[in-house]
Structure 1
Amino acid sequence: MVSEVLILGGGLAGASAALELARADVPVRLLERETGPHHKVCGEFLSIEAQHDLRRLGLDPVRLGAVPVDRVRLVSGGTRIEAALPFQALGLSRKCLDEALLEAAQSEGAQVERGVKVIALEEGKIATSTGSRTAERVFLATGKHEIRGARRDAGSGADYIGFKMHWRLAPRRMSEVGSAIELAPFDGGYAGLQCVAHDVLNLCLLVRRERFARLGGHWEDLLAELMRAPHLERLLGDAEAVFSRPLTIANLPYGYVCDPVSPLPPGVFRLGDQAAITAPLTGDGMAIATRSARLAVACLRAGSGPAEYHGKLQELVRSQVTRAMLLQRAVELPLAIRCVAGLLGLWPGVLGRLAGMTRLAQVPPM
């Protein structure tokens, strides 16, 4: 009998793991820092792999209000290229999805404690805002937040700042977006747009810190720069901002993949963004979260420890992350994106194939 598993974080990875463990009658307790449903900085793109993992757990994203995404569109200057995705993706708010997973986990017997902030991992205990906790097996799923005692190697990916804003659009504007995910590169970054409800558009973007500073260092400055693109000005010019301010995050180690022998307290498994952070433009972040949860549960139930799990996870995601980071760096270079746009203009179908090349591999057999 596996002793109680302590999950730190109630996002996509943590909640998925809690649900699967509870259904397998493994005692599980989950600590979530927020007191209720909340939005997160995320592109909210559910790839076919993430959908498969969610449906394994008995969760149907379409029943939660997810909308179809079956095309990819690249808009750069006056160039607009569109192609079919090699799969049907979905757009769905993380606020809705994460809460549905937590509720499902609770209904299966998982103990969920809200309003508990994890502060540090120390030898033999976990420091939280409500006191110290102990557990033989810990799933570290705190997402983008760094935890003392379990910091990730920042590398060169920490030069970016991420923003997210939801907009409520008129029906005629939503029809312009349609069922496409739209990528709009600009000097020093890129924006991604897609529908996440019948009348809500998610704008998620990444910009290099120095570029943001040159623009003025404020959201309004960055938004004004984006609005110089005619199609974005047309879409967002009369849109209603759903949030009073955008959600933002910085200092993330994009390109990070956990090391199987990284120094962590015994019994700690990294999940989701704590395990790997891929380039957002490929839309694989949510799939990495669900796959890491699935793999961690499988390893735990098979009697495997963190080192074996981290090795299998590294094998699963390393190639995807490497390809995704190369693609991200390419779209930030004005000359490179002009060349790519020219080639894609001649062969639009290549755009869909590029999307297919960044998919995750299958979960290795246990």
Structure 2
Amino acid sequence: MDPLILGAGPGGCAAAIVLAQGGAAPVLIDRAAQVDDPLCGGFLSWQTLRSLSELGVPVLQLGGHRVHRLRLFSRTRQVSVPLPHPATGLSRHALDQALRHRALELGARLEVDVIRSVEGDRLIGRSRDWRSSAIFLASGKHDVRGERRPRRDADPALGLRLRLPFDQQVSQRVSGSIELHLFHGGYAGIVMQEGGSLNICLALKKSLLASAGSEPQVLVERLAQAYPAFADRLAAGWEDHRVETIGSVPYGWIAQSTRTGLFRLGDQAAVIPSLAGEGNSIALASGMMAARYWLAGGAEAAPAYQRAFARRAKRPVMLARAARAIAERDALADWGVTLARLLPFVVNTTMELTRIDVRKQSGPGALQRLSL
């Protein structure tokens, strides 16, 4: 049977590309025929760019904004540190569209359906049931009935996103940088994207949003009042733009195992805190690695893949969790920004250690070694 891939985002399309290159005929199943603009993932790290190049996706031709520096802001302090390698700000719409195009041109097939549940080797859809011995679960942050991830956090993380059009003054402040604004209970990542638009993504505790009456715009206004540097990134009239939300993000979760035939990809495999800027890279890496395992060992290779990927993801995810714990407390954030100013190599080392690279892993030999 043809492999089924649930979700045509970065992880699912990466798997489809590698499978098609290996002679398979993968079927991508997505709820939308047209590419949307998902909330998370507007920053492409240097490792992400390497993976996209390997997949044959001409990402540098898509008009993204080149990024060379990391700027950190706490309540009272700030620092600017060069990135180890250039990165890019690019919307998920542009990225997902390019990945989907690449997968389809190589022979993958796209089917539109809303999958309600996973039952063994079947995907139960709104329009029909789908069956395969190999299912690649690439549904991102959205769980599917039958294969839900555990939720144990009493105060779970939420994601918010505000997209603003080009503004000359804000552009001068942000250009060439990925910014992290650290505040008590969360942080905001800010980067320019194609056309000079500004992407503002916030990761925060549910209790912080609740303290603002569960009103995202009220929360953004309060943060702007408390953190002047963050306020400087909000162009006049930002209140006229919708603040999008996504709930209950299990940062730090890693799938340690799976059953035969089920390959977990992207956020279904490992959820790295977003301040690391490596979510897209983990999605691509997991899709590429899972596809190689299937090509080498078929559906039976799923458990070996999941164990191997969990080992690869452990260090980046744990380091990002530690960084998140520092970022979400004002006093610790001030200390962290001071340390970054005094010892910038610590920041660069941390950035390098939170990357994940699976380029060296492929083929039956690697499958045999990593399954031990």
Q: Same fold (TM over 0.5)?
A: yes
- Contact 2:20–2:103 at 8 Å: present in 1 too? yes
Residue 369 of structure 2 corresponds to none
1:210-229 equivalence runs, <5 A: 210-228=207-225, 229=227
- Contact 1:158–1:254 at 8 Å: present in 2 too? no
- Contact 2:265–2:283 at 8 Å: present in 1 too? yes
Does residue 1:201 correspond to 2:195, yes or no? no
Does residue 1:315 correspond to 2:311, yes or no? yes
Q: Which residue of 114, 119, 127 maps to 1:117? A: 114
- Contact 1:158–1:250 at 8 Å: present in 2 too? no
Once the two structures are TM-superposed, the CA of residue 364 in structure 1 deviates from its matched residue by 5.4
Does residue 1:291 correspond to 2:285, yes or no? yes
- Contact 2:89–2:192 at 8 Å: present in 1 too? yes
Once the two structures are TM-superposed, the CA of residue 288 in structure 1 deviates from its matched residue by 0.4
The whole-number CA distance in structure 2 between the counterparts of 1:21 and 1:158 is: 39
The whole-number CA distance in structure 1 between the counterparts of 2:336 and 2:296 is: 46
1:149-168 equivalence runs, <5 A: 149-156=146-153, 159-168=156-165
* Residue type at the aligned position of 1:96: A
Residue 267 of structure 2 corresponds to 273
Does residue 1:250 correspond to 2:247, yes or no? yes
- Contact 1:27–1:110 at 8 Å: present in 2 too? yes
Once the two structures are TM-superposed, the CA of residue 331 in structure 1 deviates from its matched residue by 0.9
Does residue 1:146 correspond to 2:140, yes or no? no
* Residue type at the aligned position of 2:314: R
Once the two structures are TM-superposed, the CA of residue 202 in structure 1 deviates from its matched residue by 0.6
The whole-number CA distance in structure 1 between the counterparts of 2:217 and 2:89 is: 26
Q: Which residue of 309, 325, 329 maps to 1:329? A: 325
The whole-number CA distance in structure 1 between the counterparts of 2:237 and 2:55 is: 36
The whole-number CA distance in structure 2 between the counterparts of 1:57 and 1:308 is: 23
Residue 39 of structure 1 corresponds to 37
SS in 2 for 1:328: helix
Residue identity over aligned pairs, in percent, reads: 30
- Cα root mean square deviation, aligned: 1.8
Once the two structures are TM-superposed, the CA of residue 162 in structure 1 deviates from its matched residue by 0.5
The whole-number CA distance in structure 1 between the counterparts of 2:219 and 2:266 is: 29
Once the two structures are TM-superposed, the CA of residue 349 in structure 1 deviates from its matched residue by 4.4
Unpaired segments ≥5 residues, structure 2: 367-372
* Residue type at the aligned position of 1:291: A
Pick closer, same or farther for the CA change 1:363–1:105 going to 2, 3 Å: closer
The whole-number CA distance in structure 2 between the counterparts of 1:361 and 1:155 is: 29
The whole-number CA distance in structure 2 between the counterparts of 1:40 and 1:172 is: 27
1:7-46 equivalence runs, <5 A: 7-46=5-44
The whole-number CA distance in structure 2 between the counterparts of 1:237 and 1:227 is: 11
Does residue 1:357 correspond to 2:353, yes or no? yes
Unpaired segments ≥5 residues, structure 1: none
| TM-score, normalised via structure 2 length | 0.92
Once the two structures are TM-superposed, the CA of residue 362 in structure 1 deviates from its matched residue by 4.3
The whole-number CA distance in structure 2 between the counterparts of 1:240 and 1:103 is: 33
The whole-number CA distance in structure 2 between the counterparts of 1:360 and 1:89 is: 15
- Contact 2:56–2:102 at 8 Å: present in 1 too? no
- Contact 2:158–2:205 at 8 Å: present in 1 too? yes
Residue 82 of structure 1 corresponds to 80
* Residue type at the aligned position of 2:346: V
The runs of at least 4 consecutive aligned structure 1 residues that moved more than 4 Å come to 361-364
* Residue type at the aligned position of 1:160: A
Does residue 1:130 correspond to 2:127, yes or no? yes
Question: 167-176 or 193-202, which moves further after superposition?
Answer: 167-176
Residue 98 of structure 1 corresponds to 96
Question: 314-323 or 124-133, which moves further after superposition?
Answer: 124-133
The whole-number CA distance in structure 2 between the counterparts of 1:336 and 1:168 is: 33
Q: Which residue of 37, 40, 51 maps to 2:49? A: 51
The whole-number CA distance in structure 2 between the counterparts of 1:158 and 1:60 is: 40
Residue 346 of structure 1 corresponds to 342
Pick closer, same or farther for the CA change 1:293–1:149 going to 2, 3 Å: same
The whole-number CA distance in structure 2 between the counterparts of 1:199 and 1:106 is: 29
After superposition, give the CA deviation of every residue in 1:189-226 in whole Å (9 maximum; x if it has no partner): 11110111241111000111112111221011111022
How many residue pairs get matched?
A: 359
- Contact 1:320–1:358 at 8 Å: present in 2 too? yes
- Contact 1:276–1:288 at 8 Å: present in 2 too? yes
SS in 2 for 1:136: coil
| TM-score, normalised via structure 1 length | 0.93
- Contact 1:85–1:356 at 8 Å: present in 2 too? no
The whole-number CA distance in structure 2 between the counterparts of 1:357 and 1:30 is: 32
Once the two structures are TM-superposed, the CA of residue 340 in structure 1 deviates from its matched residue by 1.8
The whole-number CA distance in structure 1 between the counterparts of 2:329 and 2:163 is: 27
- Contact 1:167–1:240 at 8 Å: present in 2 too? yes
SS in 2 for 1:235: coil
